[in-house]
Amino acid sequence: MFLFTNVMNVRKYRWLLYELVKREIKAKYKQSILGYAWVILVPLIHLIVMTIVFSLFIRLPTGGVPYPVFLFVGLVPWMFTSNAIASATGSLLANSQLITKIYLPREIFPLSAVLSKMVDLVLSTIVLALIMLYFGVAANFTILYVPIIFIFQFLLTLGISFILSAINVFYRDVENILGVLLMVWMYLTPVFYPPELIPENLTPILNLNPMVGIINSYRNVLLYGVAPPLLSFVYAAIISTVVFYFGFAFFRRRSRYFADTI
């Protein structure tokens, strides 16, 4: 019930949410010469470097899929989640003047930071489609699973963003250590390597990482034309939903102290 009430509360401020998202998008590339080109260049640089390493020096099994395509299908969703969390973590501090002077639902700020990364995601997805076309990898009807997978990825990203942005108000070290934590999380997720390389005895433990099931699901439906791996995706869906509800509840409980602490 409390979630529905707060969703309706945010809906009343949708005009502000729109303005915050627009401001976030403009501010990121305002003083940049290349502007939105960086959205494409950064993942492409990752793609080139990792392709050289894992195609020429370390051969990884990819189920017959060209490694650049295999990599980019994992890299695109990962970069959305990691960039959104990094941006949302500092969103409350970045909007401290609004928080201390005006009453409005505080969850708007991390939500706007996450939504602003949707532009990056769309542009990266277009590049992914072009890469798949270049290598002759065609998606089939299983692409219809993508929106379902993304819903749980979005819930996970937003839930973590709520938790970290709230903690960051009280402990500013969160932003400093976040880069390291995201890097560790990335290596524990099969972004660069296939899940078959994970030792079988560690699979139940690594399935507790919801991004494992999410990225494996994207690869299954986009590259191999099969449904998401059932057990792994169910784990991901349940954990993502729990993280979202916990994160939202935690954020709401701590939000009453934001104005005094910031």
Amino acid at 118: M
- Helix and strand numbers (H, E) in the chain are 13, 0
pLDDT in tens, 43-91: 777 777 777 766 666 677 788 888 889 988 999 999 999 999 999 999 9
DSSP string of 183-236?
HHHHHTTTTSS-GGGS-GGGHHHHTTSHHHHHHHHHHIIIII-SPPPHHHHHHH
pLDDT top residue among 112 and 96:
112
pTM: 0.88
Residue 176 has pLDDT above 90, yes or no: no
Residue 165 token pair: 């942005």
Amino acid at 41: L
pLDDT in tens, 134-162: 899 888 899 999 999 999 999 999 999 99
**3-state secondary structure (DSSP) of residue 256:** coil
State residue 30's pLDDT score: 62
Q: How confident is the model at residue 194 (pLDDT cuts 50, 70, 90)?
A: confident
